[in-house]
Amino acid sequence: MNLILKNSVLATAVLAALSISATQSQAAGTITFGEDKYLSVGFGAIAGYSSVEDGAANGDDRSNDFNLNSARLYFSGSLNKYIKGMFNTERSGTGGAIEVIDANVQFQLTPEIAIWAGRFLSPSDRANMAGPYYSQGGGYWSSIASRYGFNGGIIGRDDGIALVGSALESKFAYSFGAFEGDNIFRFSGVGALSETAGDEDNLMYAGRLQYDFWDAEPGYYGTGNYFGAKDILAIGVAGRSKKDGVVGTTLAVGDYTSYSVDFLLEKKGVGPGTFSAEAAYYDYDTDDVLLAEQGTAYSAGVAYLFNEKVGWGQFMPFVRYQKFDADGGTSGASVNTAGDIDTRRFEVGFNYVMEPYNALITAAYSDTKVTGLSSTDAINVALQFQF
């Protein structure tokens, strides 16, 4: 069971400051100091329960685990209509230490153009831009297809600067930036380390383009599902590149590049509810230095939100599929073992939506298969709550 708590004061302030249409949270409790000047504080937590096949210590029985997967503090503020910022922390999955994930200032040059500077999500695919708190219930699709949000940066964040803008009544969004990019493979056991292992101190460049054919999605940070609030037909492309951005176990140095294409469709009034579908394609290139992180990946999912309430909420069944076709071994000394290694995960479940993003229960069954290993099934139940 995942328990997600986030103060709507924070959500409202962040949405107002950054024009992020991720939720419909109320503005209760925001501290204002005058026109366009305010301060907001919030918090979030994800505590989880999972039961995994052969996951017990004896290797034969199912595991039964409760975990604190995430704990966050959020701060955001605005000095005026031109200068805004945010500061967020996270309990890291690497030992439970608290670390800064967002610390940045946004200079709103015009209503459509802003400069972001500091630590924030670098331009990337929709799954990474939405993150665990604004995906379609139960967290987002990390570690298999959308790899950077789990593996790279500081939970997908990087230190740098970016131009963030929109045009055509916010239906066309663009973002481009330069970042340190020194934690591209943070949880793979191999860091970028280009500043010490390479001859140059190179930056990572990242960008994203997106067009909304139906309703517009204003803002930079995004969401993975609108739960029937909008009609969405959107296509996005994103890419990253860093010269000498990959260091292997033998200190071989290579260039890092990746790109992705993502698609989201959400349509109200399809029968007695809202139909949604999303898909994405990824290409990761490590210059043959880190074959475990080089290859192609796919993700796809469909869901249907019934309009009629049953008790407190609406049912929303979904199906998801992910695949990462790596060019080599998985970790450690075997990172350059040649030969395709596929990781596939099929997931089926449902959301019980009491209030979109604010009160949500998710139950899902997943089956994961890795080349050369037996398949593993897992049961996860998630409760999401925000205020």
Tell me, yes or no, whether 7 lies in a domain. no
Mean pLDDT of the 263-285 span:
96
Of 172, 175, 173, 154, the residue nearest 164 (C-alpha):
175
Tell me, yes or no, whether 38 lies in a domain. no
Give the tens place of pLDDT for each residue, 136-185.
755 555 678 998 877 888 888 999 999 999 999 999 999 999 999 988 88
Contact 367, 376 (CB under 8 A): yes
DSSP H or E run through 14: helix 8-18
**Cα 259 from Cα 140, distance rounded (Å):** 19
Tell me, yes or no, whether 17 lies in a domain. no
User: How many CA atoms are closer than 13 Å to the CA of 352, on its beta-carbon side?
Assistant: 11
User: How many CA atoms are closer than 13 Å to the CA of 25, on its beta-carbon side?
Assistant: 28
Q: Residue 293, class by beta-carbon neighbours within 10 Å (0-12 exposed, 13-18 middle, 19+ buried)?
A: buried
Residue 18 confidence (pLDDT) above 90: no
Angle, vertex CA 133, rays to CA 129 and CA 137, nearest 5: 110
Q: Which residues contact 250 (CB under 8 A, 6 or more apart)?
A: 336
Tell me, yes or no, whether 33 lies in a domain. no
Domain tally for the chain? 1
Give the tens place of pLDDT for each residue, 332-382.
434 456 678 899 999 999 999 988 887 888 899 999 999 888 889 999 988
The answer to which of 45-54, 229-238, 258-267, 304-313 has the lowest mean pLDDT is: 45-54
- The pLDDT value given to residue 175: 98
Query: The domain that contains 231 carries what CATH number?
Result: 2.40.160.10
- The pLDDT value given to residue 46: 75
Mean pLDDT of the 97-116 span:
95
- The pLDDT value given to residue 20: 37
Give the tens place of pLDDT for each residue, 204-252.
999 999 999 999 998 898 888 899 999 999 999 999 999 988 876 666 7
- The pLDDT value given to residue 95: 63
Tell me, yes or no, whether 30 lies in a domain. no
Give the tens place of pLDDT for each residue, 335-345.
456 678 899 99
**Cα 362 from Cα 303, distance rounded (Å):** 13
Strand ranges, E, within 200-294: 204-212, 232-247, 253-270, 273-285
Residue 192 confidence (pLDDT) above 50: no
Tell me, yes or no, whether 1 lies in a domain. no
Tell me, yes or no, whether 41 lies in a domain. no
Tell me, yes or no, whether 19 lies in a domain. no
**Cα 201 from Cα 244, distance rounded (Å):** 9
More confident of the two residues 328 and 150: 328
Give the tens place of pLDDT for each residue, 65-84.
988 877 888 899 999 999 99
Residues of the chain above pLDDT 90, percent: 52
- The pLDDT value given to residue 189: 57
| Domain containing residue 109 | 52-64+81-385
